[in-house]
Each structure stands twice: as C-alpha cells, then as structure tokens.
C-alpha cells in the first residue's frame, strides 16, 4: 500500500506537470500557435468600430493591423467580462475594451495581461465595498479585476481628443502592475521609465510647465501611478500635442510601452 509520502510525491509531480502544460498553452496562445484555439476573425463592422473609436488604429500599417486584429480576438476570448443586468451594448463594450488593451500592449509580447482575470461592468457610477467609495472605474491588483461604469466608459470613446478615456486609464494601471512584476528586459525598461517620471515630477521646471499648459488633468498629481495612467490617456488621444509640449515625457512613455507607432512625426 503506497505511503503518504508516495501519494504526496505523485500529487506534486502532477501539479508541476499541469502547470507546465498551462505555460505551454499560454505561450502558444500568445504567438497564435495554439492548435486548440480556432477563433472567428473580426468582422468588417468590428474593424470599422475600432477605427472610429481608437485614433491610433488608423496609424497602423496593413501588417500591423492584421496582428492587431488577431490579438483583439484572442484577448476577447480569454477575458471574462461580467455585465450588470442593466448594461446594454455588451458586444460593443467588450470589443472596445479588448481593442484598448491590445493597442496599449501592441509593442509587448504579453498582450493578454495576466494581471487581469475578469472585468466587471456596471451601468453607471457604482459603490465599491472594498474602498467604501463611489467610482467610475478601478483596478484591483489583488483580485486581478477591472471595474467600469459603462456610462463613463463610453463617454471616454465618444470624445476622442479630450484626454479622458476611462478604459485607457484603468488598463494602464493593470499593465503597469503586470509589467513591473516580471523579470525580463521589458520590465527593466518599464521600471527605468517610472524612475525617470518620478524625477520629472520632482523637477520644479517641469511642474511649472505642467501648470502653465494645463495639458494634464489635475487628478494625475495624486501620485506617480495616477500620473502614469493620466499621461497614457493623453498619449493615446493627443500624441501630437503631447510630443510638442512634453517631448521628454513623450519619449519615456513610448519606450515604456514600446509603442513604435508613436514616431517623432506623430
């Protein structure tokens, strides 16, 4: 009769083997080599919806658009989006959320963002039992959960150049957490960028220019993490103005996200 040690050993080996299979599956999925995942392509209507709501999509070459489309389909299939019963236009919202995540991670290998397991969508501003406050959106790293108000989410896409996009803001937080907690070159570059941003925020000349321009909304002054998320909103919506007014910060963010589509001529 097998001993307790034998049973434990077999269980441990099975757990290790199972984890190894998951890593292989995840890696294949990242590079679209997974033979078990055959997903429908984006429709022409869905592509047009993305183009109408994500200005940077129009800057992509034909080759990069194909890659973008594949990633959107994959991201959408892998994330659990839970809607409150009163939320409408669910497919539309899911598409825009997926496209936003993919646009922000277009220069990264890990576009599936492991720091997000599920996304909750309420019809309007909601009360969070965790923070004991009302919110339009938030990210919970411990729960790996993004939460949105559908009303405010869609408002961010309705006006494409006001530098206020809730989806971009919250995904920026999740990506920051995801990248910063890895041991690879991309993580190293990202952390260097955060240190450079911290130095800029302690520079009186930089702060004076921010005050005079009013380009960044004041909420970004809350802390460095909120400033990063607010800055990414600006980067996505008005990259040309960003580059002209704050070229150093523009370059830092472009390197952090590896967004080569944001050239010096943007």
> pLDDT value at position 5?
52
- Domains of the chain by residue range: 1-38, 39-257
More confident residue, 199 or 27: 199
Tokens of 176: 């920051």
Query: pTM of the entire structure?
Result: 0.84
Topology at the third CATH level for domain 39-257: Cyclin A; domain 1 (1.10.472)
For the ranges 40-44, 170-174, 257-261, which has the lowest average pLDDT? 257-261
pLDDT range class, residue 1, cuts 50, 70, 90: low
- List, for residues 4-39, the tens digit of each pLDDT value: 555 455 554 554 554 454 444 445 554 444 555 678
| pLDDT at res. 36 | 56
């Amino acid at each position: 009769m097998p001993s307790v040690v034998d049973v434990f050993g077999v269980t441990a080996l099975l757990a290790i083997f199972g984890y190894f299979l998951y890593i292989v599956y995840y890696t294949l999925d990242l590079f679209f080599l997974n033979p078990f995942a055959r997903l429908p392509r984006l429709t022409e209507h869905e592509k047009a919806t993305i183009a109408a709501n994500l200005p940077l999509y129009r800057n992509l070459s034909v080759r990069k658009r194909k890659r973008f489309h594949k990633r959107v389909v994959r991201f959408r299939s892998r994330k659990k989006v839970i809607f409150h019963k009163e939320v409408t236009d669910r497919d539309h919202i899911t598409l825009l959320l997926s496209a936003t995540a993919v646009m922000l991670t277009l220069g990264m290998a890990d576009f599936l963002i492991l720091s997000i397991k599920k996304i909750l969508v309420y019809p309007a501003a909601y009360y969070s039992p965790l923070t004991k406050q009302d919110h339009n959106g938030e990210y919970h790293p411990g729960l790996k959960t993004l939460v949105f108000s559908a009303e405010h989410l869609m408002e961010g896409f309705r006006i494409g150049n006001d530098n206020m996009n809730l989806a971009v803001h919250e995904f920026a937080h999740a990506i920051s957490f995801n990248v910063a907690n890895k041991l690879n070159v991309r993580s190293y570059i990202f952390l260097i960028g955060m240190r450079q941003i911290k130095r800029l925020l302690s520079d009186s000349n930089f702060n004076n220019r921010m005050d005079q321009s009013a380009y960044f909304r004041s909420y970004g002054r809350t802390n460095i993490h909120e400033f990063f998320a607010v800055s990414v909103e600006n980067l996505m919506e008005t990259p040309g103005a960003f580059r002209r007014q704050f070229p150093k910060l523009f370059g830092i963010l472009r390197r952090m996200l590896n967004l080569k589509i944001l050239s010096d001529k943007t």
